Amino acid sequence: MLAYLIRRVIFATLLVFLVSSASLVLARLAPGDFTVALLGDRARPEAIERTRAQYGLNRPIADQYRDWIAHAVRFDFGRSWLYDTPVATLVRDRAANTAILAVTALAAATLIGLPLGILTGSRRAGVMTQVIRGASLVLLSLPPLLTSLLMVLIAARTGWFPIGGMGSESADVAWHLVVPAVALALPIAAMFERLQAQAMAEVVGQPYVLAAFARGVPRSRIVWRDALKAALRPTAAVYGLVVGSLLSGSFAVEIVTSWPGLGRLMLEALQARDVYLVAGCAAAGSVFIALGTLVSDAALAAVDPRTREA
C-alpha cells in the first residue's frame, strides 16, 4: 500500500512538472508575445523593446525557465500579466470552479447512468429498455460542445435557467450550475448506462445468479445486491478515463456557457501569450488528472478486491 502511494506521488509530481514546463516553454516559443497582446502589432519598436524588458521577455528562455522553476518549487507561480494578479490565486479560483462543475456532472452522470444501466441490463428487451438504449445512443453521439449549445438554446428559449457566468452566493451558483452541469453530465451518463447495462447483462447470465434465482432469492435483491457487486467493475475501471474526458468536456462546456473555469482561463492565457498563467493552468489541470487517477484506482479497489493485491 505504501509502495503504491509512493509510486502514485512520484507519478503525480512528474506529471505536474512535465506538463507545466512543457506548456511554459511552448507558450514562450510561440510566435508573438505578450507585448503584442498589450500594445497591438503596430506599436513603435522602442515601445515594444521597453515593454519586453519590463516583462523580462528579452531574457533567454533558459534563464526565464530556471527562474520560474526556482520560484515554483516554493509554490510561487509568478504573476499573470493579463490579469495583473498572482497566478496561484487566479488559478486556484478558476480550478475550483472547474472542479465544482466536473464533480457535479460526474455525480449526476453516475446517479442517472448507473441505475438505468442496471435496469436495462437486467431485463429482457422491452419498450422501456429500448427507449433508454436509444436515448443513450443519441446522447453518446452528442459531445459536450453540442449538448451545451443545446442546453443554452433551451435555457434561453424557456427562460427556466440562467445562462452565462456563475453568480456569487451558493444558491445562485447552484442555479447557474444547472445548464453547464447537465450539458457535461448527459454524454457521460449515457456512457455509464451502456457500460453498466453490458456488464449487468453478462453477470445476470452467470450460473451463480441462476442458482440464486432457483433458491428463491427475490429478484430485486439479486439484481441490486448480488449481481450488482460483480457488475460494478467495468464502470469503476472506466472512471480513470472519465477524468480526462470530464476535463476535455468541461473545456467546451465552459466556453459555450461562459462558466469561469480553468478551460476559459487557459484559452485566454494562450491567446495573450501570458506564459506564467499558461504554465499555472497546465499545472492545475495535471493535478486534476493525478487526483483523478488516484480516485479511480481507489474506486476500482473498492469494488474489486483482486486489484488491491497489486
Q: Contact between 106 and another protein (CB under 8 A)?
A: no
Q: Contact between 117 and another protein (CB under 8 A)?
A: no
Q: If you search the block for the grid coordinates 427562460, which residue do you land on? A: 159
Q: Contact between 156 and another protein (CB under 8 A)?
A: yes
- Binder to another protein among 210, 271, 298, 308 (CB under 8 A)? 271
Q: Which is nearer to another protein, 24 or 222 (CB)?
A: 24
Q: Which residues pair with 80 in a beta bridge?
A: 85
Q: Which is nearer to another protein, 176 or 212 (CB)?
A: 176
Q: Contact between 97 and another protein (CB under 8 A)?
A: no
Window 62-81: residues binding another protein (CB under 8 A): none
Q: Which is nearer to another protein, 9 or 53 (CB)?
A: 9
Angle between helices 262-272 and 275-303 in degrees, nearest 10: 150
Q: Which stretch binds another protein (CB under 8 A): 2-10, 29-37, 77-85, 169-177?
A: 29-37
Q: If you search the block for the grid coordinates 497566478, which residue do you land on? A: 87
Window 278-307: residues binding another protein (CB under 8 A): 278, 282, 285-286, 289, 293
- Binder to another protein among 7, 9, 10, 32 (CB under 8 A)? 32
Q: Which is nearer to another protein, 38 or 212 (CB)?
A: 38
- Binder to another protein among 132, 238, 265, 275 (CB under 8 A)? 238
Instruction: Give Cα separations from 299 to 31, 106, 197, 246, 251 (angstroms).
Output: 44, 14, 19, 17, 25
* 233 class by beta-carbon count within 10 Å (0-12 exposed, 13-18 middle, 19+ buried): middle
Q: Contact between 142 and another protein (CB under 8 A)?
A: yes
Q: Which is nearer to another protein, 226 or 268 (CB)?
A: 268
Q: Contact between 94 and another protein (CB under 8 A)?
A: no
Q: Which is nearer to another protein, 78 or 285 (CB)?
A: 285
- Binder to another protein among 42, 44, 124, 157 (CB under 8 A)? 157
Tell me the closest approach of the beta carbon of residue 297 to another protein, in angstroms: 13
Q: Which is nearer to another protein, 124 or 157 (CB)?
A: 157
Long-range pairs of 2-11 with CB within 8 A, sequence gap ≥ 24: 4/310, 8/290, 8/293, 8/294, 8/297, 11/290, 11/293
Window 171-200: residues binding another protein (CB under 8 A): 187-188, 190-191, 194-195, 198
Q: Which is nearer to another protein, 217 or 267 (CB)?
A: 267
Please report, as ranges, the residues that interact with another protein according to CB under 8 A: 15, 18-19, 22-23, 26-27, 29-32, 137-138, 140-146, 149-150, 152-153, 156-157, 163-164, 187-188, 190-191, 194-195, 198, 238, 241-242, 244-245, 247-249, 251-252, 255-256, 266-267, 270-271, 278, 282, 285-286, 289, 293
